[in-house]
Amino acid sequence: MTGLTRRHALVAVATAPLALRAADAPAAASTDAAVVSELLRAELLLQRSYELCAASGPRRVRALARRFRAHEVEHAAALAQALEALGGRGLTAPRTRAEVEAAARSLGVGPSLTAARSRRGRLRHLLALEERVLGALHAALGRLDDDKLLQTVATILGCQAQHLVVLRTALGRRALPRVLDAGRP
Amino acid sequence: MVAASRRAVLLGGLAAAALAGCGERRTPVRRRSAPAPTATPPAQADVLRPLIEIKARAVALYAGHAALERLHAQEEEHLTRLLRAAPGRPIVFANGMAPADLEREMLAAELVVLPRLTDAGLRLLVGAMFATDAEHLAVLRRAAGRFPVPRAFVTGAP
């Protein structure tokens, strides 16, 4: 995980009340921890996928992946802090390419990154992953109990939605295909 | 807040301008005692962007006012020259408000409303609106020649 940046610190302040809330409402905190754990797993997968795309493959995808990976690192840090405040166990990102691909398959995202070597193939893969993560973040809004955590998740959701605009545009698709974007369930 | 029926003055269309390399085409200013650079300087187009937005607002505000005709013409000329250096024309309403500001205002309001909603269905509705409005902002940034996703957290802050 990266060092503490100013933004991480801000998010940490935003999620600080979680510890107190957790003591008051253990059941709600336990549900929130389960939801955050799920989201963190998805964000870590996205982070590793961008990392792999930044390391090799088409040049234009590499440049984009570098920028978006930085966002995912911040998202994962914020969620990890929230999870810790809720008493949840930390998670690690999938390490090997095989682990990344297995995790993507479990979300129904294919073809694998190895198979998707062309620029369009890579972009399609990342788009599908982002759609799934957006879907998970959106569903979480209906399940989370803590107010601050709800807002943190919404701010991450907004960023993923903006990633979608860039990926759709790069693929020559409509940037705004839905009146209400809830990603893919 | 801008009324939905308010006539908008659209300064240019949603023509997304490719900014890549724009700054690099300019001849760098030579300074005798310039300090050694410690970081990569921002592209000149990015440096000009805030000024372009203000000029675009001035042009929208001055338009149609007889007493401000000369000012309007001159500000429009300023804007034209700036856009040569940094293509990507911002869109501004007749009252000087930019659609991007309006979208940001909506995002900030949605973020405040979300935790106050106890109904899960309404939360999901506002959550999906938040995602879509974040997308709108990305499209508007792109149209103005900016990178569509400058931050990891979307809050509605400028």
User: Counting every residue, how long is chain A?
Assistant: 185
Q: Is the pTM of this model over 0.80?
A: no
Residue of A68, A162, A169 to mutate, testing the B interface (most B Cβ within 10 Å of its Cβ): A162
Please say whether the dihedral angle defined by the alpha carbons of residues A159, A180, B13 and B92, taken in this order, is positive or negative.
negative
Cα–Cα distances in angstroms (integers) from residue B100 to residues B66, B91, B105, in the given order: 28, 8, 9
Residue B87: per-residue pLDDT: 86
pLDDT in tens, B36-58: 445 556 678 888 888 888 889 88
Q: E strands, chain A, where?
A: none
Nearest to B127 among A152, A157, A169 (CB): A157
pLDDT in tens, B77-111: 999 999 988 888 888 887 878 888 889 999 999 99
Token pair 């999620």: residue: A15
Q: Measure the CA–CA gap between A59 and A86, rounded to whole angstroms.
A: 40
Q: How many CB atoms lie within 10 A of CB A185?
A: 10
Whether the complex's predicted ipTM is more than 0.95 is answered with no
Nearest to B155 among A142, A155, A164 (CB): A155
Instruction: Name the residue of chain B whose CA is nearest to A174's CA.
Output: B139
The type of residue at A128 is A
Residue A157: per-residue pLDDT: 98
Q: How many CB pairs under 8 A join A and B?
A: 121
Beta carbons of B111 and A151 less than 8 Å apart: yes
Beta carbons of B149 and A179 less than 8 Å apart: no
> What percentage of residues in chain B have a pLDDT greater than 70?
73
Q: Measure the CA–CA gap between A28 and B49, rounded to whole angstroms.
A: 46
Which residues in chain A are contacts of B132 at CB distance < 8 A? 161, 176, 178-181
Q: Measure the CA–CA gap between A32 and A24, rounded to whole angstroms.
A: 13
* Sequence-separated contacts (24+) of B83-86 with Cβ below 8 Å: B83/B52, B85/B22, B85/B26, B85/B44, B85/B45, B85/B48, B86/B19, B86/B22, B86/B23, B86/B44, B86/B45, B86/B46, B86/B48, B86/B49, B86/B52, B86/B145
Nearest to B153 among A67, A155, A161 (CB): A155
Write the DSSP symbol of residue A6: H
Query: Average pLDDT of B68-74?
Result: 87
Residue B17's pLDDT band, with cuts at 50, 70 and 90, is: very low
> What pLDDT tens digit does each residue of chain A (185 aa) get?
333 344 544 444 344 444 334 444 567 777 999 999 999 999 999 999 999 999 999 999 999 999 999 999 999 999 999 999 999 988 989 999 999 999 999 888 877 888 888 999 999 999 999 999 999 999 999 999 999 999 999 999 999 999 999 999 999 999 999 999 999 98
